[in-house]
Amino acid sequence: MSQTSISELWYTRCPVPTTSGIAQHFRWLHREFESKGIALKSIRAADDQAVRNSHFDHTHPGMFREGGNVPPIWARANGRDTAVVGITWVDEEQLILVRDDSDIRDLAGLKGRRLGLPLHATPIVDVGRAQDLRGLLTALELGGLTRDQVEFVDIAAGGFDLREQDANAPRRMHVCAAALLEGAVDAIYAKGAVSATLIAEGGLRPVFDINLNPDPLVRVNAGTPRPITVDRTLALTHPEVVARYLAVLLRTAQWALEHPDEVVTAIAAETGSTADAVRRGFGPHLHRQFTPLLSDIYVEGLRQQKAFLLREGFLQADFAYDEWILREPLELARELAADIEFSRAA
């Protein structure tokens, strides 16, 4: 279908390792669409709070999103007619952290202890709470404990706004880490570059890494897997536009295989962290994990996360999961990817 009726598209990605993040970091997405006469704009850079909120509620039209899975699942459960057109899976360390002077040495030591859970003041789904709850519950299960053998402690975390910021801007305080250091709780969950930074700078000690489990479905949480979602209407009426976005991501993933150091630099900028934190938080094979797929394990991992969010009360309604997956754009993208050329990154 002709693309001439589209002059503007929007994208958003979480401040975590995403293929979209690398592609926008080097302006490859922007250049590809500019060459077709289409302006690509960032949701997170918008001045309007309602537009920025679309990162979570998916209400802005003509929008691509890649990132954590809690908001797109929540938005779909709230009736947003979106489609999953690809999924990425970047493994990251998922740690149970304690104070360095704690007597907790393993998961068994969590019995009878206070586990911190953030509680955000927001009408949007509480992503941080969902993430930390799943991480803590997974750890308890792996340690042979149940949720009634620990005490969950709510930690007031205020609101949140995922506005793009200067890379040199000061980091927000990690409220759960602060509560842990103050002695209000005995253990918390943290992941990726955040956990690496808390260990390096915050005086915290890991007692367990969920990411070491060989079963990928055990490692499922808010950050793994990460769906790429679009408005279903856009995908159905302009399939080549959606496929072209995915084609750039496929080429980006291919480029990443041969540029591990540049990937780390891009992800450090995306996550607002250091290269060392990225290397620790995401491991030596980070550059190999950016190919969008709709493989059985990726689709099942996302399905299980939806079931978790429904079971734990983060969703007000269920939805037909299989109908959410739209495979045709990614199939077309594989045909388009071979013709996409990248200029040298600045």
Residues 84 and 107 both lie in one domain: no
**Claim to verify: residue 80 and residue 139 sit in the same structural domain:** no
Same domain as 79, residue 101: no
Last residue of a domain, one of 171, 191, 212: 212
52: helix, strand or coil: helix
Q: Which two three-digit tokens encode residue 173?
A: 């305080």
CA-nearest of 312, 272, 339 to 129 is 312
Helix (H) / strand (E) element for 229: namely strand 226-231
Helix (H) or strand (E) holding 157: strand 151-158
Q: Are residues 85 and 98 in the same domain?
A: no
* pTM as predicted: 0.94
Give the pLDDT score at 167: 46
Does one domain contain both 19 and 69? yes
Of 159, 157, 155, the C-alpha closest to 123 is: 159
Same domain, 85 and 230: yes
Task: For residue 100, give its domain range.
Answer: 94-212
Sign of the Cα pseudo-torsion (232, 234, 240, 243, in order):
negative
Q: Is residue 54 part of a domain?
A: yes
Pairing mode, strands 94-99 and 188-191: antiparallel
- Do 58 and 106 lie in one domain? The reply is no
Residue 2 placed within a domain: no
* β-pair type (226-231, 63-66): antiparallel
Structure tokens that stand for 5 in this block: 């009726």
**Which residue's entry shows tokens 């926008």?**
24
Per-residue pLDDT of the chain (346 residues; tens, 9 = 90+): 444 479 999 999 999 999 999 999 999 999 999 999 999 999 999 989 889 999 999 999 899 999 999 999 999 999 999 999 999 999 999 999 999 999 999 999 999 999 999 999 988 999 999 999 999 999 999 999 999 999 999 999 977 666 655 444 445 568 999 999 999 999 999 999 899 889 988 889 999 999 999 999 999 999 999 999 999 999 999 999 999 999 999 999 999 999 999 999 999 999 989 999 999 999 999 999 999 999 999 999 999 999 999 999 999 999 999 999 999 999 999 999 988 888 654 4
Distance CA 54, CA 41 (A): 13
Per-residue pLDDT at 172: 57
One domain, residues 158 and 237: no
Q: Which of 178, 212, 246 is the last residue of a domain?
A: 212
The chain-wide mean pLDDT, for the chain, equals 93
Residue 52 belongs to some domain of the structure? yes
Helix residue spans in 96-174 (DSSP H):
127-142
Among 160, 177, 212, give the residue marking a domain's end. Answer: 212
Total number of domains constituting the chain: 2
* 208 and 292 assigned to the same domain: no
